[in-house]
Structure 1
Amino acid sequence: MTTPRDLLMVAMDAAPVRAVERGDLALALAAAEAVDLLAARAIALDGERIVPGYRPALTDRLLDEAASSVAQQMPYEPVGEWLWRRGRGLSEEYLTALEADGQLTRRRHRRWLLLRTDEVVLVDTPARRDAAHRRDSGEPVLAALATAVGIGEERPDEAPDVTDDDVTTVITALEDAIQELAAERQRRDRRRDDAAVDNVRRGY
């Protein structure tokens, strides 16, 4: 399994207790892809910009698509911009992939808070148990990704010990993007509340 698939499974297992915002998860899945692509040397970082690697054979279709989406010529794309672009609709793509692989099943009268419109549950498979073991063992990269989207305990005083500088850059870009998305939600909620107050004043 890949880091994005592990992250999605961990998020779904956590969903009945702590819901994850769909947009946050999509950004985190893109960050998880970047982490795996760095490990495979399919990409590298030049400062905060993603540069293409030597394109090894990637057996995971979505990871291969992620590698293909990287700008091949200068000016290369900053990590944060790539997360926004790659993350669009990514949660649904990974759900479809997990279902195709038999990792998910659909069940009536059961809704995950994570995915309010989909009645899907994880199947008890070796992949799910491996993802849970990776989470429970405190593996730094998965822990950092999970913490960024609010899965598990509140952020500790010391961040998970990610020692790779490039991975740290990706995690930082993810945290910045999630904060930006949260700020946009607050602005949208404020506009909606202001509109509701105006309607009351006008007698509606």
Structure 2
Amino acid sequence: MSTPRDLMIVALDVAPSRPLGRGDLSLALAGAEAYDLLRTGTVRLRGDRLAPLTGPGPDRLAPLPPPGPEDGLLAEAAAALVREEPYEPLPDWLWRRGRGLSSAYLAALEAEGQVTWERSRWLPFRGGRTVLSDTEARRRAAYRWAADEPVLLALAAAVGIREELTPADPAVTDDTALTVLAAVHDAVMELEAVRQRRALEAAAFANVWRGA
């Protein structure tokens, strides 16, 4: 079971509740990787002991000895971990590992025959859409989605694949998973703030240009 692969398949298979940004999805995929690496004992969370005067800092990802995960992209994630003290803060990992990660997962699914491209007859060399094949991986992801698996559900809600969670939805109770989900949520909010700031700056520049 690979949570990031299942999340990517769900993102391709389910109509989102709001426009789905690649950056948001990439951050969530990095969070899903961190969750799987923690779940399989490839890494552990260690509190930041470097900021005793300012309060606890973000948890850091401390790698553990091999063996690592069998999944190819998760193995890449494990190989990318910072292995020297004081290790990498979880939020920093999300931004570094998440850069372009949705494209990497899409390419992997396509290479495995999980996804094909359906081209438009009117635009044979441009555009088109992804089509999921009927595979065991797709059925597994659909099963986790239909079962309201809490971590998958929370990651999907964080990026807009589904509506925000309600008290009626299954809750994540594991502290480690909650730490990862909180970091993903904060990163997605930070990315949205950056988008809004850039939009305001672009609008202000356009107003100055028109007034010149």
TM-score, scaled relative to structure 1? 0.90
Shift of 1:54: 2.0
Shift of 1:18: 4.0
Q: Is the 8 A contact 2:158 2:185 kept in 1?
A: yes
Which residues of structure 1 form unaligned runs of 5+? Answer: 111-115
Q: Is the 8 A contact 1:107 1:120 kept in 2?
A: yes
What residue is the counterpart of 1:183 in the other structure? Answer: 193
- Which contiguous aligned blocks of 4+ residues in structure 1 show a shift greater than 6 angstroms? none
What residue is the counterpart of 1:171 in the other structure? Answer: 181
Tell me the distance in 2 between the aligned counterparts of 1:16 and 1:138.
16
Tell me the distance in 2 between the aligned counterparts of 1:159 and 1:78.
29
- Partner of residue 155 from structure 2, selected from 130, 137, 145: 145
Give the residue type in structure 2 aligned to 1:34. Answer: A
What residue is the counterpart of 1:54 in the other structure? Answer: 65
What residue is the counterpart of 1:81 in the other structure? Answer: 92
- Residues 80-106 of structure 1 show CA distances to partners (whole Å, capped at 9, x for unaligned) of 000100001111111111011110001
Tell me the distance in 2 between the aligned counterparts of 1:51 and 1:123.
37
- Residues 69-88 of structure 1 show CA distances to partners (whole Å, capped at 9, x for unaligned) of 11111111110000100001
Q: Does 1:162 align with 2:172?
A: yes
Tell me the distance in 2 between the aligned counterparts of 1:17 and 1:177.
19
Between stretches 100-109 and 119-128, larger displacement belongs to 119-128
Tell me the distance in 2 between the aligned counterparts of 1:188 and 1:117.
27
Shift of 1:57: 3.8
Shift of 1:144: 0.9
Percent of residue pairs bearing the same amino acid type: 53
- Residues 9-59 of structure 1 show CA distances to partners (whole Å, capped at 9, x for unaligned) of 111112476431000000000000011111110000012111001222422
Between stretches 78-87 and 15-24, larger displacement belongs to 15-24
Shift of 1:108: 0.6
Tell me the distance in 2 between the aligned counterparts of 1:16 and 1:28.
14
RMSD: 2.0
SS at match of 2:116: strand
SS at match of 2:44: strand
Q: Does 1:71 align with 2:82?
A: yes
SS at match of 1:84: helix
Q: Is the 8 A contact 1:27 1:177 kept in 2?
A: yes
TM-score, scaled relative to structure 2? 0.86
- Residues 144-179 of structure 1 show CA distances to partners (whole Å, capped at 9, x for unaligned) of 111111111233247751121111111101101000
What residue is the counterpart of 1:113 in the other structure? Answer: none
Q: Give the aligned length.
A: 197
What residue is the counterpart of 2:29 in the other structure? Answer: 29
